Amino acid sequence: MNAYQYVKPPQLTEALRLMRENPDCHLLAGGTDLLVRMKLGRLQPGLLLDVSQLPELRTIREEAGLLRIGAAVTHTEICRAEAISRLAPALAGAASQVGSPQIRNRGTIGGNVGNASPAGDTLPALLAYGAVVELARYDGRRRRPLKEFFQGPGRTVLEEGELITGFSLAIRPAGQAAAFEKMGKRKALSISVVNAAVLIEMEAGAVVKARIALGAVAATVRRMTAAEHHLKGTDLSDGAIAQAAQLVSDAVNPIDDVRSEAAYRKQIAGVLTRRALETCRRQLNDQRE
């Protein structure tokens, strides 16, 4: 039997060095996914590299027009951070609906994204905010738009020896609204049947930016470009919203699984999109008043 080792490096550079030297290493932060896989015997023994306390991964900062969230920030911390409630409330909303209090207290946003589950709740919210994922490796750092990050269920563009250090989101200008919607089979401890996040920016009564991201309706969380294009220039009328919702419903390609059925998910994708868009419209109206 091969054995697990555990190490908790104090600094990122040390972590990156260890990753380079141990190709069999597993990144450990909250452990809410990793320990399940260990229990189910789906993990090869190797180095358990605890990145949960790396200072760079633990911070939430506003700087130079960006909101930066470290990868090892927990869902609970996201829900409770003043800066996130103010600048990215739909992300806080999404994080508040992950799992249970116990899971939110441990699970991290970097873990949620790194797992690349098609149903991860923070993923559509990050996509809607146009998040950029920040990656580091022993030989350098890079940034990638999150929408280019996911390649399939559990598959991402992360390279060997590379980890997610955090996410940066453009700070919300006036005239922006965002919303997150989730449908689960019960009200807590529920993996999404479908989830959706939407961001809208309006100027002079017209939509200038629209981002719509859906989860659990394809192999990865996805942006809905046809619906986004359709919304641009509209006044976010009922008709425009209905049309966008229909485009989303048409665009998604869900599957049947133990949680739900493809046809149902397709329909719900439209319903959640419409509800999220209506919430945005309400927020924008409130902002004007």
Binds another protein (CB under 8 A): choice among 122, 176, 192, 260: 260
Smallest distance from the beta carbon of 171 to another protein, in angstroms? 29
Q: Which residue, 250 or 278, has its beta carbon nearer to another protein?
A: 278
CA 66 to chain centre: 17
The site map against another protein for 122-161 (x = CB under 8 A) is ----------------------------------------
Give the whole-angstrom CA distance, residue 160 versus residue 66: 28
Give the whole-angstrom CA distance, residue 66 versus residue 50: 27
Binds another protein (CB under 8 A): choice among 186, 204, 286, 289: 186
Total residues at the site for another protein (CB under 8 A)? Answer: 43
Q: Which residue, 102 or 253, has its beta carbon nearer to another protein?
A: 102
Binds another protein (CB under 8 A): choice among 105, 115, 243, 283: 105
Question: Is 45 a residue that touches another protein (CB under 8 A)?
Answer: yes
**Any idea what the Cα angle at residue 233 is, between residues 232 and 238, rounded to 5°?**
85
Q: Name the phi and psi angles at 68, rounded to 5.
A: -110, 125
Give the whole-angstrom CA distance, residue 280 versus residue 235: 12
**Sign of the torsion formed by the C-alpha atoms of 261, 263, 266 and 269:** negative
Q: Which two tokens stand for residue 92?
A: 């806080």
Question: Is 108 a residue that touches another protein (CB under 8 A)?
Answer: no
Judged by CB under 8 A, which stretch of 46-54, 169-177, 204-212, 231-239 contacts another protein? 46-54
Q: Which two tokens stand for residue 68?
A: 């930066």
The site map against another protein for 61-80 (x = CB under 8 A) is ---------------x----
Binds another protein (CB under 8 A): choice among 101, 152, 153, 233: 101
Measured CA distances, 6 to 28, 33, 44, 140 (Å) = 9, 17, 14, 25
Binds another protein (CB under 8 A): choice among 25, 50, 180, 254: 50
Question: Is 103 a residue that touches another protein (CB under 8 A)?
Answer: yes
Give the whole-angstrom CA distance, residue 248 versus residue 12: 40
Query: Residue 84, class by beta-carbon neighbours within 10 Å (0-12 exposed, 13-18 middle, 19+ buried)?
Result: buried
Q: Which residues bind another protein (CB under 8 A)?
A: 1, 3-6, 8, 28, 30-32, 35-36, 38-40, 45, 48, 50, 52, 76, 99-103, 105-106, 183, 185-191, 258-261, 264, 267-268, 271
